[in-house]
Amino acid sequence: MTVLEKAPELTELSLRSNLEAELVVFPSDITFHDLSADKVEIQIKVSNKGQRRSPPTVMRLESAPLGAFVPGRPLAILSAPPLEPGESHELTVEAARPHPRPLGNFDGVPPKSVLTALSAAPDERPAQPGAGLAALLKLFRRQGTPQPAGKNTVSQSQPLAPDVFELLGREQPHWAGNINVFMGKSAVERHVARALRIYSGRTNLAIFMVGGPGKRDAYAFDLVGLRPDWKAALYDVTDAKALVTGPSDAPFQERQWVEAAAGNMVVVLAVCPPLVCEEGNVQVQVTRRSCQKTAVVEFNLDPTAQGTGCYVA
């Protein structure tokens, strides 16, 4: 496994009009935090990097379980007001955080059961394809176009995708997942597990999803930002009997293409910090062979964080 000193520069979401207005959103411009046990606030900063004033622009949001190239579900529709060259504007939306019934303890749940539960998610997904998006469009038209002054806040949205840690009985105070932002045909994403408790001197396990069901593909992985005195490895446990890895399990090799025959995978990140450790930020870069695009899954690991945190093997 290659450990890189820093991540390569990420491409921002960009929408350029015929008038040379250029709206951009960087991955770091997407932030989210929990307001309560049942509500999460998502903030999107959009900037005009062009030379002309931009028109009002519709922005569509989706959420997905934590992972890379995971199919999203409708979350909200926002409207960025006209922006002058060099001007930025923050859009805010509040979303309900679902609390799925746990499938069982981390060490006793078959990975394929996790995939089945996240693919179905009957309580959160629309009953018919496009139904959730249609409902958001109806709400958006009823509210009208937001005024350009001040912070634009939309308090109504679809529920977030379920948190995979909570699905495994590892309840966390912070929702972990993906937020995808679309403007026109362009898209930018942020995939984050924030303030995840890690246990020093132990092997800590965290999981994330890769891909979607039904489309065969292959993926390559790299770890970025790992502290020099931390050890880490990644394991494909999709076809295993449990999520816990053992001494006989082989981790991914450097830039190895890992086939996902069913289209989606369950991946375990195993991290062992030293006996005395501070907060660490680890990024897992996932490249999909069919399109050669790379997605980044971020883990903020903190020995002082609240919640049950990582599973200790």
Tell me, what DSSP letter sits at residue 133?
H
How many C-beta atoms lie closer than 10 Å to residue 101's C-beta? 10
If phi > 0 it is left, if psi is from -120 to 50 it is alpha, else beta; for residue 270 that is beta
Encode pLDDT of 104-133 as tens digits: 999 999 999 999 998 864 444 433 444 445
Q: Where are the alpha helices (DSSP H) in the chain?
A: 111-120, 131-143, 164-167
Residues whose CB is less than 8 angstroms from the CB of residue 96 and which lie 6 or more positions away in sequence, other chains included = 38, 39, 40, 157, 159, 160
| CB-based burial label for 149 (10 Å; 0-12, 13-18, 19+) | exposed
Q: Measured between alpha carbons, how far is residue 42 from residues 76, 175, 255 in Å?
A: 10, 11, 33
The pair of structure tokens assigned to 205 is 């396990």
CA–centroid distance for 157 within its chain: 18
Residue 260 confidence (pLDDT) above 50 = yes
b/e burial code for range 33-65 (CB count within 10 A of at least 16 → b): ebeeeeebbbbbebbbbbeeebeebebbbbbbb
In 3-state terms the chain splits into helix, strand, coil percentages (rounded to 5) of 10, 40, 45
- What's the CA gap between 147 and 149, in Å, rounded? 6
Q: What pLDDT shows up at residue 313?
A: 86
Q: What is the mean pLDDT of residues 173-193?
A: 94
Q: What pLDDT shows up at residue 215?
A: 82
Encode pLDDT of 94-112 as tens digits: 999 999 999 999 999 999 9
- Asked if residue 151 lies in contact with residue 44, where contact means CB atoms within 8 angstroms, the answer is no
- Nearest in space to 235 (alpha carbons), one of 202, 208, 198, 195: 208
CA end-to-end span of the chain, whole Å? 21
Residue 8 confidence (pLDDT) above 60 = no
Encode pLDDT of 283-309 as tens digits: 999 999 999 999 999 999 999 999 999
Q: What pLDDT shows up at residue 299?
A: 98
- What's the CA gap between 251 and 297, in Å, rounded? 18
Residue 259 confidence (pLDDT) above 70 = yes
The model's pTM is 0.84
Tell me, what DSSP letter sits at residue 244?
-
Q: What pLDDT shows up at residue 41?
A: 97
Q: What pLDDT shows up at residue 15?
A: 53
